[in-house]
A and B are shown apart, each in its own frame.
Chain A
Amino acid sequence: MKVLGYAGRRLIWMLPTLIGALIVIFFLTQALPGNAAMSRVGQFVNPETIAQVKHNMGLDKTVPEQFVIYVGHLFQGDFGHSWKTGNDVIIDLGDRLPATIELTLYTLIIAIPLGIVLGTLAAATKGSWFDRIIHTYVTFSLGIPVFWLSLMLVYIFFFLLGLVPSPTGRLDILDTPPPHITGFYTLDTLFAGDTEMFGRAVAHMILPVLALVFVTSGPIVRVTYSTMSNQLTSDHIRAATASGLSRWRIVGRYALKNAMIPIVTAVGLTARLLLGGAVLIEIVFSWPGIGRYAVESLLVADLAPLQAVVLITTILTLLINLVVDVSYFWFDPRIKVA
């Protein structure tokens, strides 16, 4: 219960940060070059039309007034209107947010256990050939730009080997998406009973998830490795070894449990980095997620979608931080709520 109270207090403390973020988002998008009204109707119209469009878009009001209106609308769940897609932003997000979340969720589901297992094994077999391979893995994982890795994977697995479909998004170009239930195509195709399309949805996910797993698991491996190395030379582990417990029982049950806090911190950091990395991946694979939505809106000065995406990723970042902090209580019962 105390932990719940703590989480609640933290949620309230997020508010000032969120208001600050809203101010930054609003004024940053205000500063974008290009005239939103003009890029909507084109430059070859008479000034009255522009004025009319500006009035309709609320751009003739003063900037503070626009800000108040913007925030007011947000509280009603209104993210504005995208003139490029012709939809309310909330509708567009309903399609695109699941695409991004599906990608990042599968990445985390694979990258977190993989990172922890590889880091633990390398630390437990310090100095071995395996340890050295893992070190190389981490070096490359931290040094490879994710968009470049994706392109190379496309070259090898699509162009050379023909094992995966072309990078055209979530399904083949001619496919009609499955009925919207969860928005995750890997689930919706199954609900629709279309196993063939399920196969294609999975095939389209393989490369982007592979690329993201490679770059996100590196930091997790590195932190797990260094924490576990310290753990395995500590007194309580030496005592457990002396009492004749098996090596893997010691590593898995005693050392890993104590190493969880730095690992969880690293996982949180990785999850935040993933939100940025997803933007780059979505461009390479024509993945119709929120990152690509933001970039495409940015190119034509369509402000509302951009504001919405920055706001959503910011809220997700703050929530990830909160979850990480709260999880400390679970991993280390000695930590008391202050």
Chain B
Amino acid sequence: MNVETTEKTQSPPLQSTGATPAATKSKRTKIPVSLLIGGSIMLAWLLITIFVPLLIGRNAEEVTYGSKLLAPSADYIFGTDALGRDVLVRTATAFRYDIVIALGSVISAALIGVLLGALAGSVPEWLDNIEMGVLDVISAFPSVILALAMAAALGASIGTLIFAIAVVLIPQYARATRAAILSERSKPYAEAARAMGLHPARTVLIHLLPNTLFGTLTQIALDLPTAIMIAAGLSFLGFGVQPPTAEWGLMINEGSSYIVSGQWWVTFFPGLAILTLVIAFSLLEVGIKRFSGRQ
């Protein structure tokens, strides 16, 4: 027991060497602007998705006959689509689905990928080779095409969409974690753990893995936009979220046939929504990097 606590208190200083206490302090107190802006956009989206449908008093899937393809006006701020549904309400509601798909797929990819990477970094070499070979096969496919084939094979739904995107993203987490574990393994504290006869699984999971998590966190922030883009792309092609659910990619698809006849609003607003969310994620990623002072 005693031995374990000294282990834990020893590892953090190894991480933060290089920064003088004063420098660390001044950085910690000042939150980067990008983090603030990114966070504000996310907060704004949270408020929009909760309150806009309530305030307007219309449902995202509510069909109103006689008000098809209305241009933006005071009544319908973002206009209506071909079925007379309110584009503003649909765009606001769609955030819930897109954020769930993005977070769900990236976090499950990170969890599975990190575990696979830790495994590859600690098993005998031949097993490591086989595992990495399998992951190489997955990354040999262009990601959109692999996700497309998987989503189609498993039947289009939000669940399979999350699964398909996660599979595409897993290899990079596994690879990064494996590399980090291999480099951590040669550090003195890891050797100490080994010398004390700790079980290898325990050494990797409790002592080595926590020191690799910072890279994973940055990768998560980097992958969220990718996940949103793939999800919207697959839904746009008809293999993701299915009608009548409000989802940005699907909404863009539904509006695409009206672009050549000038009804731009059905397509425009969901795409703008994707853009703001992706920008928010990249600001958050930059912010996280700056905040931890490791750029």
Taking Cβ atoms with an 8 Å cutoff, the residues of A that contact B are: 16-18, 20-21, 24-25, 28-29, 31-33, 139-140, 142-145, 147-149, 151-152, 154-155, 158-159, 166-167, 272-273, 275-277, 279-280, 283-284, 294-295, 298-299, 306, 309-310, 313-314, 317-318
Contact = CB atoms under 8 A, between A and B. Distances in A.
23 contacts: A20-B134, A21-B140, A24-B137, A29-B153, A31-B153, A33-B152, A143-B275, A144-B274, A145-B236, A145-B275, A151-B259, A152-B267, A154-B259, A159-B261, A167-B260, A276-B143, A279-B145, A284-B256, A298-B149, A299-B238, A309-B145, A310-B145, A317-B142
Interface string B149-183: 11011110000000000000000000000000000
Given A145-B252, A272-B142, A32 B153 contact: yes
Contact of A142 (B145, B225, B236, B271): B225
Nearest to B230: A276
B83 interface: no
A164 to B, nearest CB: 12
Nearest to A16: B133
A155 B262 contact: yes
A45 to B, nearest CB: 25
A17 B137 CA distance: 5
Nearest to A149: B271
A276 B142 contact: yes
A140 B275 contact: yes
A143 B267 contact: no
B167 to A, nearest CB: 10
A151 B256 contact: yes
Contacts, number: 136
A275 B141 CA distance: 10
Contacts of A272: 142
A261 to B, nearest CB: 19
A17 B275 contact: no
Contacts of A317: 140-142
Contacts of B148: 279, 294-295, 298
A314 B154 contact: no
A28 to B, nearest CB: 5
